[in-house]
Structure 1
Amino acid sequence: MNVEKIIKTEKQIPITSRTIIHLSLVEAKINEMMTAALKPHGVSLQQFNVLRILRGQKGKPANLSTLNERMVTKMSNTTRLVDKLILKGYVDRMVCPSNRRKVEINITSKGESALALMDVALKETEEKLLQNFSMEDLRSINELLDKF
């Protein structure tokens, strides 16, 4: 990915600015491809993230604050994401019997099945995105990104 070519400039960009721009462009490409992979399933990347978090609970319900804490991209509209997933039948919401102010969210069996199909689509997309990298390259990238 040639940063200067993409942003259509001929001038030399300082390495610090170029790095930030480059990371932003890579993030945009990843989001674009992941979003496209999920489109046939009718869910957004954020909804997919909620479903994965709930699956990771292994049958234990989660509340909105747990979902917010574990989201890859932090957002304030988690309630709306959950509402959309409820309409699809992928999650259900219930009031906690011991604390009526607490709302618990679970993934449904329909949500689990749909998520398994989404996993396949995203795995294929990940492989496309990373096809030019060796395992050593990926380890190096992760080491460098850990410095953030």
Structure 2
Amino acid sequence: MPDEPAIQIPLPALLRHARHTYGAAMRAALAEGGYDDIPGNGLYVIGALALGEAPLSQIIRELRVSKQAAGQLVDALVLRGYLDRQVDPADRRRLTVTLTERGRAAADIQIAARMAIDAELAAWVGAEKIRHAREVLAALIDIGRSGEPGSD
């Protein structure tokens, strides 16, 4: 059960530390599996591509990094064998980026680590509290998006 004094900690600090719990578990599992060369934001890119619901441009936009930093990140993931970059046959001006077999394996390890943390969390607080937390976090995301350009 979480410490009661944690309830007094500002929400941004709690979010940062909670994110670290997932990130540390994923990084440890990936290192154990031989995938210890994924750059910082690479976990997010690989995980998001594994879900298959968003184009790379949206994933990069959500990272809120410069185009140069995004390009360097994708280059590193391609060079390290996690992503494959090809010219889009339907539009030769565009590139498509997909997970390689190595990238898919890393994504599977990430998912398993996330699920292990989710299960431990459920054992600590129960499914209903997790559902409420998801609702609160989704609302917080919506608040942030409502202030972004083009969100009207």
Structure 2 length-normalised TM: 0.65
The answer on 1:49 being equivalent to 2:37 is no
Q: How does 1:112-123 map to 2 (within 5 A)?
A: 112-123=104-115
RMSD: 2.9
The superposition leaves residues 84-110 of structure 1 with CA deviations (integer Å, 9 ceiling, x where unpaired) of 211221111122244333221111112
CA contact (8 A) 2:47 2:110 kept: no
Q: Which has the larger radius of gyration?
A: 1
The AA in structure 1 aligned to 2:45 is V
Unpaired stretches in structure 2, ≥5 consecutive residues = 141-152
The superposition leaves residues 90-142 of structure 1 with CA deviations (integer Å, 9 ceiling, x where unpaired) of 11112224433322111111211221122112222333445421222122233
Q: How does 1:10-29 map to 2 (within 5 A)?
A: 22-29=10-17
Distance 1:127 1:32 in 2: 17
Cα pair distance change 1:131/1:65, threshold 3 Å? same
Q: Percent identity?
A: 24
The secondary structure found in structure 2 opposite 1:92 is strand
Query: Structure 1 or 2: larger helix share?
Result: 2
Unpaired stretches in structure 1, ≥5 consecutive residues = 5-17
The superposition leaves residues 67-86 of structure 1 with CA deviations (integer Å, 9 ceiling, x where unpaired) of 325x4x43333222212211
Aligned residues: 128
